[in-house]
Amino acid sequence: MSLPQLSERQPEVLDDAPNMTPAKAISGPSVIWLVLGFEVHTVGILLLASLISARPARAQEPPIGKPVQAAPSTGVTTRGVYAPVKDAQSRPITAGGFVSGAPVVFADITKQSGLDKFHHHSGTREKSTIIETPGSGVALLDYDNDGWLDIYLLNGSTLNALKGKEPAPRAMLLHNNHDGTFSDVTEKAGVANERWGFGVAVGDYDNDGWPDMYVANYGKNRLYHNNHDGTFTDVAEKAGVTVGGWSAGPTWGDYDHDGRLDLFVAGYVKFDPERLPGPATGLPASFCQFRGVRVMCGPRGLTGEGDHLFHNNGDGTFTDVSVKAGVSDPKGYYGFASVFVDVDDDGWVDLAVANDSVPNYLYHNRHDGTFEDVSYMSGFALSGDGREQASMGIAVGDYDRDGKVDLYVTSFSDDYNTLYKNEGDGNFSDTSFQAGLGTPTIPFLAWGTGFLDFDNDGLLDIFVANGHVYPGVDQQDWGTTWAQRPQLFRNLNGTRFQEVPPATGSGLADVIAARGAAFGDLFNDGHIDVVLNNIDSAPTLLRNVVNNHNHWLAVKLIGGSKSPRDAIGAKVSVTAGGVTQRGDVFSGGSYGSSSDQRLHFGLGALTKLDKLEIHWPSGRKQVISVPEVDRIVTVTEPNTE
Ligand SMILES: [Ca+2]
Ligand SMILES: [Ca+2]
Ligand SMILES: [Ca+2]
Ligand SMILES: [Ca+2]
């Protein structure tokens, strides 16, 4: 990597650079760069003026002369070693920084709601193998079509359960009772899974008007078909989508425009419980260390699982078209999350994949059943400073209201979560530091994430679920902790974000080991709530209690005969007060989790829409008049031409 390239990227981090200087650099090629990167700041400033006008698309290049999965000195990718950030009580900021008297955004209603009936289990507390550390996702879906979102929480498992020596933990489906409480309906519904669950994606793959669920496990995956009577049947075997091995964050989307949802399944690591990864199996010890301390091994140094794209044949079966479509991941990158979304607005869903500790994938849909790998060309493969990151989850939303959908990717501690602004023409740029989002996320290890307008002011905010993978961090003075508080970043003006103070005693002050995160209006009151699936503990239900009298509109879409019935892939633009917001219907994205597919728009003080335009997956455009706001409107795509 040559110096001019570094300088060209470096202006991205100038904004907050003085606060984020690595305290010291660990060894390894990617980290030497960090020291270099800081030194070239001044060079970067000098070159900035000349570069800005000359800089074309922000294409990235694969690291030259550096094998992506070799060389580095630990099992994960980070940005460097940072000095601990502590609060006034000397607590690491990841488990402190609470602010008395700050406005409360989320109330933790886990107990009152009955969600504490669920308890997640993932191996042992020591977390000595990689499979015990990632944890599981959560889905919000209205499985019984009563108009209220229900909650599906995946569970983990144990090595003993894999060997049949003890019962496997059970997933839980919780029915929304419409009164703030939820009832466990898992037994009747038949969705206990009882395999090591990682990801879930909701999609009505058979267009019968009832949401189905795909569950990504270690071992065989499930396709839970909704039987319309409160029960599901696992049809994965018949459908041909069991996969096997270790699957993570799936997504549904109709990539070939036949009106039926297809399925993408990210693969993580090849894992054999009879042959645990470690020095005994030939893995260099460096892949089992973090900051010189022994930790679970991987993912780097381990063999990655490939990814799978399944074409929906329309008869209840699917065909694995991964290789032909060009998305099979022959490099064996460690996939954690994926999402189908149309990033270039050509009317065809593209595919983004968050990979752990290696470059991310962005695949452009070529409209002929195949995809072009534009990961580097688009700028989505690496961070703005040219590094691969330990990517965990993807948020999808147009935060700057320029009509182009942006992406936000969560990452490890000692690294920042990355905001990828969509510049158009298939280019993304890392605007994390300009947006004020870089520095505050560095101590945190982040997973589930979503763009949500928590205060209904018409600007998409960002929520991040946090928690570490190494229990031993609590015995170190690294400025990070096993259990961490979640983070909420308020969008100030479409370009800058500010962290919302964690009010003492509020949901943002919950110190938990969160993993999956799903977002949706659980109580149909116009406020987006959050459900977190926490590793080795009860989940968290964060009820949005903001009451600022801002107005809102939610839109539920029902696709016609040429679109998926649940309208995944649809795009809606809402214009009010001269400003246009964009919403995308998608499945998956956030770490292992799937959110409310109704689109939610905050309107601030406005009570009138100028325009609501729907771009259906079929290609049809439709303009709807909405006479009243503060409600959920259902729009059905007409079938006539
Ligand atoms: Ca329901
Ligand atoms: Ca269905
Ligand atoms: Ca596209
Ligand atoms: Ca945008």
* Residue 582 CA to ligand 4 centre (angstroms): 9
* Residue 396 CA to ligand 4 centre (angstroms): 10
In this structure, the chain runs to a length of 641
Task: Give every residue of the chain whose pLDDT is below 70, as ranges.
Answer: 1-59, 61-73, 641
| Angle separating helix axes 29-39 and 41-54, nearest 10 degrees | 80
* Residue 585 CA to ligand 3 centre (angstroms): 14
pLDDT of 637 reads: 98
pLDDT (tens digit, 9 = 90+) per residue, 534-548?
999 999 999 999 999
pLDDT of 48 reads: 38
* Residue 400 CA to ligand 4 centre (angstroms): 5
pLDDT of 59 reads: 65
CA distance 264 to 604: 37
**606 Cβ contact list (under 8 Å, min separation 6):** 458, 551, 576, 577, 629
Residue type, 146: D
Q: Which ligand lies nearest the alpha carbon of 431?
A: 4
Beta-bridge partner residues of 601? 553
CA distance 376 to 253: 23
Residue found by looking up tokens 């009936």 in the block: 117
* Residue 527 CA to ligand 1 centre (angstroms): 17
Angle formed at CA 303 by CA 377 and CA 121, multiple of 5 degrees? 105
Quick one: tokens of 273? 């419980």
* Residue 597 CA to ligand 1 centre (angstroms): 13
Of 76, 193, 71, the closest CA to residue 134 belongs to 76
Ligand 1 (ion): residues with CB under 5 Å are 142, 144, 146, 148, 150, 176
pLDDT of 29 reads: 34
Across the beta sheet with 551-558, the strand order is 599-604, 551-558, 631-636
Strands 371-373 and 394-397, by their bridges, are unpaired
* Residue 213 CA to ligand 2 centre (angstroms): 9
| C-beta separation of 405 from 397 below 8 A | yes
| C-beta separation of 437 from 487 below 8 A | no
pLDDT of 60 reads: 75
Looking at residue 99, the DSSP 8-state letter turns out to be B
CA distance 264 to 311: 9
Phi, psi of 296 (to 5 degrees): -60, 150
CA distance 41 to 50: 15
Q: Which ligand lies nearest the alpha carbon of 349?
A: 3
**Read out DSSP for 452-487?**
E-TT-SSS-EEEEEEB-S-GGGGGS-SS--SBB--E
pLDDT of 62 reads: 55
- Would you state the torsion angle of the CA atoms of residues 270, 276, 281, 287, taken in this order, to the nearest 10 degrees? 70
pLDDT (tens digit, 9 = 90+) per residue, 163-205?
999 999 999 999 999 999 999 999 999 999 999 999 999 999 9
* Residue 195 CA to ligand 3 centre (angstroms): 35
